[in-house]
Amino acid sequence: MAPSGPGSVRRRCRRVLYWIPVVFISLLLGWSYYAYAIQLCIVSMENVGEQVVCLIAYHLLFAMFVWSYWKTIFTLPMNPSKEFHLSYAEKELLEREPRGEAHQEVLRRAAKDLPVYTRTMSGAIRYCDRCQLIKPDRCHHCSVCDKCILKMDHHCPWVNNCVGFSNYKFFLLFLAYSLLYCLFIAATDLQYFIKFWTNGLPDTQAKFHIMFLFFAAAMFSVSLSSLFGYHCWLVSKNKSTLEAFRSPVFRHGTDKNGFSLGFSKNMRQVFGDEKKYWLLPIFSSLGDGCSFPTCLVNQDPEQASTPAGLNSSLKNPENHQFPAKPLRESQSHLLTDSQSWTESSTNPGKGKAGMSNPALTMENET
């Protein structure tokens, strides 16, 4: 049995403290249920029809809110697959090589068959020393989780979890349903809130629940609407929060719209192709989180401009020499919607299907 030192005790204490925001939200949600369903609907509403309609609508929103919040909290963030981890021989070779060009050469050889498009600011292969792996595109190391998270957006203390590829849709639905929940409460509570100030309510404890319920719902509606609006903008541009603050760097340079394929395809990448699942906290996002379509391999008609640094041959899909399927099968159909990709038999650098690296191919061609 491993000894329990001061370090492990501190880690356990931190894990407990991380749950405080989640407990706070849960308690607030429990109180709001009591205040609205019991004190407002059952005690204060006199019209039976109004009671029934409000209770049915409220419970639908409450159920969707809780379901999406639960999925956001307890869906484990996805980590890079084994193919991105260095082999034992590569790790030993990397440890022997000094930092610099020789170090990068080892990483370039390891990444030659991986779907890696992005680089560091200096143009080097993105490598995580902590996890000892080559970072897939849009993957970042979370200092709180101490793991590399696929398509990491941010670490959210209110859900005590990393928001990334595996639960970003759930997080968006959580914001949407919590906003609708607060707006619905504020709208249906407003007339009773006005009665409170005009002394139109009987002097019971319900009047105080009604007052505080309206204040809480209105306050959270303002903050949630700005946060939800911001993430809707991110989805429309196919960006994460991290990418909005620091644009991804490709072989041709920094490109803030490098992953954007146009509004409709950006939406489908998060919510999936089947619209019946869009409003449900059921995973339907496209892809595997390790590879993403980029405007490097598909200049979408909805994109206004070509990324800086791309030569004229990339503007004409008939002339460029990128591999036929630079992405995994789960992502490649996003590209074939607007143009067809033909199999190229003249590409000697092509590896297994869906695993070629267009960024390195472009380097060889130029």
Catalytic residues, by residue number, are: 156
Q: What share of the chain is helix, strand, coil (3-state, %, to 5)?
A: 50, 5, 45
CA 11, 13, 19, 20 dihedral sign is negative
- What is the β-pairing status of strands 161-163 and 249-250? unpaired
Closest CA to 111 of 341, 298, 291: 291
Interacting residues of 7 by C-beta distance below 8 A, sequence separation 6+: none
Least Cα distance to 224 among 25, 71, 23, 57 occurs for 25
Q: Which amino acid is at 256?
A: K
In the chain, the amino acid numbered 295 is C
For residue 277, the tally of other CB atoms under 10 A from its CB is: 15
